[in-house]
Amino acid sequence: MKILSVVGTRPNFIKIAPLLKEMKKVPQIETRLVHTGQHYDREMSDAFFKDLNLPVPDWYLGVGPGSPASQIGEIMMRLEPVLSKCQPNVVLVVGDVNSTLAAALAAAKTGIPVVHVEAGLRSFDRTMPEEINRILTDALADLLFASEPSGVENLRWEGIHSSRIFLAGNVMIDTLRQYLPFAESSICLTDLDGDLETPVPPKYAVLTLHRQGLVDNPQRLMRVWNVMEEIGNEIPIIFPVHPRTRLRLEDAGLKPQRGNGFGNAGGIRMVAPLSYLQFISLQRQAVMVMTDSGGVQEETTVLGVPCLTLRENTERPITVTEGTNMLVGLNPERIRAEAFRLLSGPRKIARVPPLWDGHASERIVKSICEWFDGRTRSPQAEVKSAA
């Protein structure tokens, strides 16, 4: 069985790493890897391949930046000859980025079965580009692996037959559990120009921002930034800046001041993007994390670190109902109140969700092999066997 995996962004790299490792254990699986180039700079791509011991991609498409429509179209055009040459039995995609949808579309158009890992997640907010990607990828997929029970429920509600749905657990947590012992206990933070390092303070919060709905809205971004400055007066905030977010901050006049440490800019230290191991180390030692990222909600839940999600919704509800996550929206008063409550009060009682045990990839690869061999299971047995 020849499996062609397609990745393009940092979250994809984290999710595909344990799957590739597991597939290599199976003699009858031949793996091939495509990197679309959606995340193309060193901090967002090369450093993650190194940290996660990912193989050199068999194909690098070099797509680069662009609008969602142009990116998806370009990936499809560049991927089509790869599919023709490789002739895979399965195309495997992970997550919800443009590369995920583009690969699913290209495979479906050429009659190649699609496997979607992290299927069924829904924010029910179609203004989010990722939500459209999720819905369409799941509609095209032949096998769908959910990371939490809400994903199974959503897929069934959308009419996908239960025999194609597997509750497998969270592959991102597979990677976290594997590499957590290797995460650096102490790191230095490099400024955005790459030539100034600042040691991590003993007590700090972490901030990440990258969602289009937040960073592309100047008024919304400014309101969030102002409340971050207030919080930063109470505790230093370390802010690894996504390249796209940096451009939006500069457009809004929020340029970092070189050498400012934590003394200026409201105690917010904007630093260059971190490697995977650095960011995990930063999260696990933080007092709290404030984010608009989906993956960070999951990582903080397993690390036991309080998380304030700067969104009105989440496609990962289990991080709220069982984990450390709290949805605080974009209202500055709510953000401020919850942040100060965390700084002065007890932490939320939370637990790690079932099947987030570091073995999701094993369950997924086993199920793919059984499916490929022509075996069938009852809908109830699928969920029970994975659990």
- Check: CB of residue 58 under 8 Å from CB of residue 33: yes
| Residue 256 pLDDT class (50, 70, 90 cuts) | low
- Check: CB of residue 137 under 8 Å from CB of residue 93: yes
66 vs 369: which has the higher pLDDT: 369
Give the Å distances, CA to CA, from 50 to 58, 165, 168, 354, 376: 16, 33, 27, 30, 38
User: What are the start and end residues of each CATH 3.40.50.2000 domain in the chain?
Assistant: 2-180+356-386, 188-273+287-344
pLDDT of residue 138 exceeding 50: yes
pLDDT of residue 260 exceeding 70: no
Average pLDDT over residues 377-384: 47
- Check: CB of residue 201 under 8 Å from CB of residue 263: no
Average pLDDT over residues 323-332: 96
Q: What is the pLDDT of residues 13-69, one digit of tens each?
A: 999 999 999 999 999 999 999 999 987 665 556 788 889 999 999 999 999 888 899
pLDDT of residue 258 exceeding 70: no
Give the Å distances, CA to CA, from 301 to 208, 307, 350: 16, 8, 8
Query: Is 1.10.1740.10 the CATH number for 2-180+356-386?
Result: no
Task: Return the percent helix, strand and coil in the chain, to nearest 5.
Answer: 45, 15, 40
**Cα–Cα distance, 14 to 31 (Å, whole number):** 17
User: Phi-psi bin for 180: left (phi > 0), alpha (psi -120 to 50), beta?
Assistant: alpha
- Check: CB of residue 176 under 8 Å from CB of residue 276: no
Q: Which of 161, 210, 242, 359 is catalytic?
A: 210
Catalytic-residue membership of 116: no
| Residue 262 pLDDT class (50, 70, 90 cuts) | very low
pLDDT of residue 269 exceeding 90: no
Beta bridge partners of 82: none
**Cα–Cα distance, 155 to 104 (Å, whole number):** 17
How many other β-carbons are positioned within 10 Å of the β-carbon of residue 283?
A: 22
Q: What is the mean pLDDT of the chain?
A: 90
CATH topology of domain 188-273+287-344: Rossmann fold (3.40.50)
| Residue 381 pLDDT class (50, 70, 90 cuts) | very low
pLDDT of residue 146 exceeding 60: yes
Average pLDDT over residues 219-233: 93
| Residue 185 pLDDT class (50, 70, 90 cuts) | low
Name the nearest CA neighbour of 16 among 47, 42, 55.
55
Average pLDDT over residues 256-263: 46
Which residues contact residue 226 at a Cβ distance below 8 angstroms, ignoring those fewer than 6 apart?
332
pLDDT of residue 193: 63
pLDDT > 70 fraction of the chain, expressed in percent and rounded = 89
